[in-house]
Amino acid sequence: MSEFFSSRLSSLTPYTPGEQPRGRKYIKLNTNESPFPPSEAVIEAIADEAKSLNLYSDPSLTELRAALAATYGVAPENVIASNGSDEALNFITMAYADKGFAFPDITYGFYPVFCTLNRVNYREIPLKDDFSVDVEAFMSAPENVMIANPNAPTGIALPLSDVERIVSADPGRIVVIDEAYVDFGGESAVKLIGKYRNLIVVGTFSKSRSLAGGRLGFALAAPELIADLDAIRFSTNPYNVNRLTLRAGAAALKDAEYYKNNALTIIANREYTAERLREMGFEALPSKANFLFIRSDKIEGAELYARLRDRGVLVRHFTKPRISYYNRVTIGSRAEMDAFLSETEEILNEIR
Ligand code: PMP
């Protein structure tokens, strides 16, 4: 950092995104993207909208809000859209700073970064030994709560009944449920939005809707909370979602069948991969997401990561002590998973 950098940000450790390699062609199983392209209708909508890029995007997000509301069975006043769900999460930490936030010790690495950036206190509540969320501890936490469900990088999902216990335990604090991976087998909390005015459900188009590069996320909540987040949005960037992405998002929602089938394929590939890995002696946590969190007594996480990388397969390794033995493997096409499995098998044979 230069000597000009704000001293109030001296403790900021920026989020480290997964590698986006250039040059060498890798089998890319490291950032939980979809292996499937956007639907034809999405590509056509983007091409059509490109003609209007001389104009700013709609700051009210009207068309996309209406489409999201119809998809999720809520009103447009319950919806805000964002530049990736990361932006919605950032807005949320800005908007609800007073009580601070509690989140699991093992979860999405951006939560503590947003808190530090916005100078919001946070507390990490350890996952239980089996990596499940400690529901009682969150029920009694005085802070606002942020939980990824299914959680990342574990893939473990919390039943909706447990989510409801946490939300209803204290109506005086905000509970954020980050449902980035819900379309791969989790239970959505969207149906609770009409019932609890302290609940915010965050979603993304980056995973099951094949739009990671388009950067589109959203949050669903009671109208007063959406108004809070809109106040932050209009104070940050009223044109936060660009024209191409607004059109792409609305078109993707119309192609629900295509994306639903892709999610089913990913689920089938996940179960296939987990089974094959278990046969090789790996432990795979029970995942409801588009990735598996795996470990083997035969090889440490960092070493498996490095050896796979040498062989052209990228997975994600985290250095946090509690999970350093693990790797997170995104579920891709069947051909990609077969390549990953055979390279892994060869590595195990090599070190034997
Ligand atoms: N939440 C979780 C749990 C994630 O893993 C991710 C993806 N890195 C995000 C939110 C953010 O995704 P995006 O900004 O692409 O919507």
pTM, entire model: 0.97
Distance 85 CA to ligand 1 centre (A): 6
Domain assignment of residue 292, yes or no: yes
137 shares its domain with 230: yes
Residue 214 lies in a domain: yes
Residue 89: name the closest of 218, 197, 196 by CA.
218
Cα 263 to Cα 284: distance, rounded to the nearest angstrom: 20
Q: Are residues 54 and 202 in the same domain?
A: yes
Concatenating the DSSP letter of every residue in 148-170 gives: ESS-TTT-PPPPHHHHHHHHHH-
Could you tell me if residue 1 is inside a domain? Answer: no
Domain-embedded: residue 183? yes
Distance 130 CA to ligand 1 centre (A): 23
Domain housing 90: 40-255
With the most atoms of ligand 1 within 8 angstroms of its CB, the residue from 68, 85, 183 to mutate is: 85
pLDDT in tens, 29-72: 999 999 999 999 999 999 999 999 999 999 999 999 999 999 99
Q: Do residues 239 and 90 both lie within one domain?
A: yes
Give the mean model confidence (pLDDT) for residues 220-226. 98
CATH code at position 347: 3.90.1150.10
92 close to ligand 1 (CB < 6 Angstrom)? no
Ligand 1 atom index nearest CA of 178: 1
In the prediction, which pLDDT does 165 show?
A: 98
At residue 320, the 3 state secondary structure works out as coil
Q: How far apart are CA 250 and CA 268, in angstroms?
A: 27
| Nearest atom within ligand 1 for CA of residue 85 | 16
Residues 188 and 229 in one domain: yes
- What pLDDT is stored for residue 240 in this prediction? 98
Q: What pLDDT is stored for residue 352 in this prediction?
A: 82
CA of 87 to the centre of ligand 1 (A): 10
* Cβ burial 290-305 (10 Å sphere, 16+ → b, else e): bbbbbbbeebbbeebb
In a domain, residue 2? The reply is no
**Ligand 1 centroid – CA 92 distance (Å):** 14
Specify the residue for token string 């590069």: 213
For residue 181, give the nearest of 72, 269, 291 by alpha carbon. 291
Say what the pLDDT of residue 19 is.
82
pLDDT above 90: residue 18: no
Q: Are residue 24 and residue 106 in the same domain, yes or no?
A: no
Mean pLDDT of 236-241: 98
**Residue listed under structure tokens 């480290």:** 16
Q: Is the domain of 84 the same as that of 229?
A: yes
88 CA to centre of ligand 1 in angstroms:
10
Do residues 116 and 184 share a domain?
yes
Q: Does residue 21 surpass a pLDDT of 90?
A: no
Mean pLDDT of 307-321: 95
Residue that finishes a domain, picked among 255, 276, 299: 255
Region of residue 33 (left: phi > 0; alpha: psi -120 to 50; beta: else): beta
18 lines ligand 1 (CB under 6 A): no
Residue 20 has pLDDT above 90, yes or no: no
Question: Which of 203, 226, 255 is the endpoint of a domain?
Answer: 255
pLDDT digits (tens, 9 = 90+) for 74-93: 999 999 999 999 999 999 99
Tokens found for residue 175: 């509970």
Same domain, 88 and 215: yes
CB of 204 within 6 A of ligand 1: the answer is yes
- Domains identified in the chain, total number: 2
Is 173 inside a domain boundary? yes
Alpha helices by DSSP H, 50-123: 62-72, 84-95, 110-117
| Domain endpoint, select from 194, 226, 255 | 255
What pLDDT, on a 0 to 100 scale, did the predictor assign at position 212?
98
Quick check: CB of 212 below 6 Å from ligand 1? Answer: yes
* Any atom of ligand 1 within 6 Å of the Cβ of 217: yes
Ligand 1 pocket: which of 80, 111, 204 to mutate (most atoms within 8 A of CB)? 204
Is residue 305 within 8 A of residue 317, CB to CB? The reply is yes
Residues 231, 99 share a domain? yes
Mean pLDDT computed over every residue of the chain: 97
If asked whether residues 80 and 136 sit together in one domain, one would say yes
Q: Compute, in angstroms, the gap from residue 46 CA to the centroid of ligand 1.
A: 23
Question: Residue 107 above 90 pLDDT?
Answer: yes
CA of 351 to the centre of ligand 1 (A): 35
Say if CB 84 and CB 215 are below 8 A apart.
yes
Q: For residue 315, is it within any domain?
A: yes
pLDDT of 74: 98
Q: Which CATH number goes with the domain that contains 111?
A: 3.40.640.10
Q: What does the pLDDT average to over 13-42?
A: 93
Question: Is 291 in the same domain as 156?
Answer: no
**Residue where the block lists tokens 């191409």:** 244
The pLDDT tens digits for 110-149 are 999 999 999 999 999 999 999 999 999 999 999 999 999 9
> What share of the chain has pLDDT > 70, as a percent?
100
What per-residue confidence (pLDDT) applies to 22? 84
Are residues 191 and 242 located together in one domain of the fold?
yes
